[in-house]
């Protein structure tokens, strides 16, 4: 089949490679003038794009994405390693407090890959440029959809429009399948409205956070305060802070406050950014051995979103599919975007293989896989963010305290498993299975062993865990001043 993909980000590149290797003829259209850079560091310098500000924010390849790369794109996986991306086996994420650090069956499937997003994109673009069956056209903007008449199964029931390609600022292009991989700013609803189709069903759940990040490099010969492979994200009273090791000695540090907390706008200033992180002892120890290699990158305006192209078993249009951030965006702090993108691309290829001649059934089958593979993680993220935002607003702005969660005898929550995981090997692995998308939240949170061990740890440690070392409100205000 002839396939057009709108968008040459990670999602579009994943899909292009998988589709071409399944025998399809693929054209990828990208509005920005992307170029395959000479090397990793040149790619990092040129990474920022106004249309995709997330590219320069911290990234990580979680377990589900790694497994799919190994299974579906092993050459890309090797290309990432050759470019300096680091494997981080599960044992590298074990805290000192974990009493049993012995390996267990399945641990190898929970390995992560540590990298900057620019390195991922460089490797993917190289692979796409070398792939027979893929044509990449940069500097081409999709402006709408092309349609052809579709015969309804029931003459009394009008069929949805059937998409047969795209209109662009450089002319019309026809295809059997059109894929929207343009991301969270997709114009898909405008395109659908213009052809007389129904809009997509789009759900929002507040993320409510702003992001400030900066890239560093480990100083040569420095004595490190911890493992160079351990990701650390701390939920403090008035903001979150994190450290994400990356490729080739690079490290990404981030400050994540409420978007409504305008005090943190000062963190765009590198000096302020440094003072805020220096106010947290765990991060000060890392700043002492890191040298900055970029300025501070701000990002805001994000929401958790879930988009469905099928409503009440009726596709908005046939011949048109969406994957990646066009379908679902989640809070970047849990780093699920790449896994969701690659999952969507793999599901798309599988559905096209099984149902090559039935556009309506393809649309329904892909929507079913969104329910199965994507929606559980959107729902969990919305719940986690809602609880976190409520608590932060209470502490910062004096909003009413959030209602305590209702106890459920057969289920634990993300917050409970996260609190227990540093002290119990079963809770620890349950936490990383959910984080890595190797199991759904429901599968882990209702697992009898995870429930029992989590509850036992929390009961035994009630009142025993010392508070996290963090700045007082006055110390934070002083760090943000100026």
- Per-residue pLDDT of 377-389, as tens digits, reads 999 999 999 999 9
76-121: pLDDT as tens digits: 999 999 999 999 999 999 999 999 999 999 999 999 999 999 999 9
Asked whether the predicted pLDDT for residue 230 surpasses 60, the reply is yes
> Quick one: pLDDT at residue 149?
75
> Quick one: pLDDT at residue 348?
97
Asked whether the predicted pLDDT for residue 74 surpasses 80, the reply is yes
Q: Is the dihedral of CA 333, 338, 339, 340 positive or negative?
A: positive
Domain 1-59+116-205+302-400 shares a fold with domain 211-300: no
Confidence at 156, pLDDT banded by 50, 70, 90: low
Q: What tokens does 428 get?
A: 């620890």
Which CATH entry fits the domain spanning 1-59+116-205+302-400: 3.50.50.60, 2.40.50.140, 3.30.230.10, 2.30.40.10?
Answer: 3.50.50.60
Q: Does 468 or 344 have the greater pLDDT score? A: 344
> Quick one: pLDDT at residue 467?
82
Q: Strand pairing of 162-168 and 171-174?
A: antiparallel
115-145: pLDDT as tens digits: 999 999 999 999 999 999 999 999 999 999 9
In contact, 80 and 87? CB cutoff 8 Å: no
Asked whether the predicted pLDDT for residue 463 surpasses 90, the reply is no
Just give the CATH number of 211-300: 3.30.9.100
> Quick one: pLDDT at residue 360?
94
> Quick one: pLDDT at residue 47?
87
Euclidean distance between CA atoms 212 and 195, whole angstroms: 40
Asked whether the predicted pLDDT for residue 429 surpasses 90, the reply is yes
Provide the b/e sequence for 425-439 (b: ≥16 CB within 10 Å): bbbbbbbbbbbbbbb
With 0-12 / 13-18 / 19 or more C-beta atoms within 10 angstroms meaning exposed / middle / buried, residue 251 is buried
How many CA atoms are closer than 13 Å to the CA of 66, on its beta-carbon side? 25
Closest CA to 381 of 340, 410, 348, 341: 340
Asked whether the predicted pLDDT for residue 153 surpasses 80, the reply is no
To the nearest whole percent, how much of the chain has pLDDT over 70? 98
CA distances (Å), origin 268, targets 211, 214, 255, 278, 462? 10, 10, 10, 15, 39
List the domain boundaries for the chain: 1-59+116-205+302-400, 88-114+403-482, 211-300
356-401: pLDDT as tens digits: 999 999 999 999 999 999 999 999 999 999 999 999 999 999 999 8
CA distances (Å), origin 173, targets 44, 62, 167? 32, 36, 6
Asked whether the predicted pLDDT for residue 329 surpasses 60, the reply is yes
Asked whether the predicted pLDDT for residue 482 surpasses 80, the reply is no
Euclidean distance between CA atoms 214 and 63, whole angstroms: 24
Closest CA to 249 of 117, 120, 116, 126: 116
Asked whether the predicted pLDDT for residue 40 surpasses 80, the reply is yes
SS3 assignment, position 191: helix
Euclidean distance between CA atoms 343 and 170, whole angstroms: 31
Residue-averaged pLDDT of the chain: 94
Residue whose tokens read 């305008």: 262
pTM of the model as a whole: 0.94
Asked whether the predicted pLDDT for residue 349 surpasses 70, the reply is yes
Confidence at 34, pLDDT banded by 50, 70, 90: confident
> Quick one: pLDDT at residue 152?
58
> Quick one: pLDDT at residue 151?
57
């Amino acid at each position: 089949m002839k396939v057009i993909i709108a968008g040459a980000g990670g999602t579009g590149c994943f899909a292009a490679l998988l589709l071409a290797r399944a025998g399809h003829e693929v054209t990828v259209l990208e509005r920005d003038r992307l170029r395959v850079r000479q090397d990793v560091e040149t790619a990092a310098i040129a990474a920022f794009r106004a249309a995709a500000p997330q590219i320069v924010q911290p990234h990580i390849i979680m377990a589900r994405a790694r497994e799919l790369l190994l299974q579906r794109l092993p050459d890309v996986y090797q290309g990432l390693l050759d470019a300096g991306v680091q494997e981080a086996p599960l044992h590298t994420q074990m805290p000192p407090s974990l009493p049993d650090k012995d390996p267990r069956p399945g641990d190898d499937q929970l390995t992560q890959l540590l990298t900057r997003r620019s390195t991922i994109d460089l490797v993917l673009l190289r692979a796409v440029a070398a792939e027979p069956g893929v044509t990449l056209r940069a500097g081409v903007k999709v402006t709408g959809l092309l349609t052809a008449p579709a015969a309804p199964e029931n003459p009394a029931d009008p069929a949805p429009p059937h998409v047969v390609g795209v209109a662009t600022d450089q002319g019309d292009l026809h295809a059997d399948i059109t894929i929207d991989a343009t991301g969270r700013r997709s114009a898909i609803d405008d395109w659908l409205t213009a052809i007389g189709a129904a809009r997509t069903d789009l759900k929002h759940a507040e993320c409510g956070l702003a992001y400030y990040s900066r890239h560093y490099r480990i100083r040569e010969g420095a004595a490190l305060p911890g493992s160079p492979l351990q990701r650390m994200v701390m939920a403090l009273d008035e903001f979150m802070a994190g450290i994400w090791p990356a490729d080739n000695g690079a490290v990404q540090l981030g400050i994540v406050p409420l978007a409504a907390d305008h005090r943190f706008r000062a963190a765009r200033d590198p000096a302020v950014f440094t003072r805020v992180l220096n106010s947290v002892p765990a991060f000060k120890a890392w700043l002492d051995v890191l040298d900055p290699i970029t300025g501070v990158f701000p990002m805001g305006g994000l929401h958790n979103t879930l988009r469905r192209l099928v409503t009440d078993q009726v596709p908005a249009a046939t011949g048109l599919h969406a994957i990646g951030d066009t379908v679902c965006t989640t809070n970047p702090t849990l780093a699920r975007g790449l896994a969701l993108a690659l999952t969507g691309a793999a599901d798309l290829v599988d559905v096209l293989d099984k149902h090559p001649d039935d556009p309506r059934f393809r649309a329904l089958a892909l929507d079913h896989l969104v329910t199965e593979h994507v929606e559980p993680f959107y729902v969990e993220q919305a719940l986690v963010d809602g609880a976190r935002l409520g608590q932060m607003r209470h502490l910062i702005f004096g909003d009413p305290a959030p209602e305590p969660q209702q106890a459920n005898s057969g289920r634990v929550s993300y917050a409970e498993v996260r609190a227990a995981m540093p002290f119990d090997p079963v809770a620890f692995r349950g936490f990383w299975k959910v984080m890595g998308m190797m199991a759904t939240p429901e599968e882990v949170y209702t697992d009898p062993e995870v429930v029992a061990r989590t509850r036992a740890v929390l009961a035994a440690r009630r009142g025993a865990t010392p508070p996290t070392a963090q700045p007082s409100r006055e110390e934070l205000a002083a760090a943000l001043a100026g």
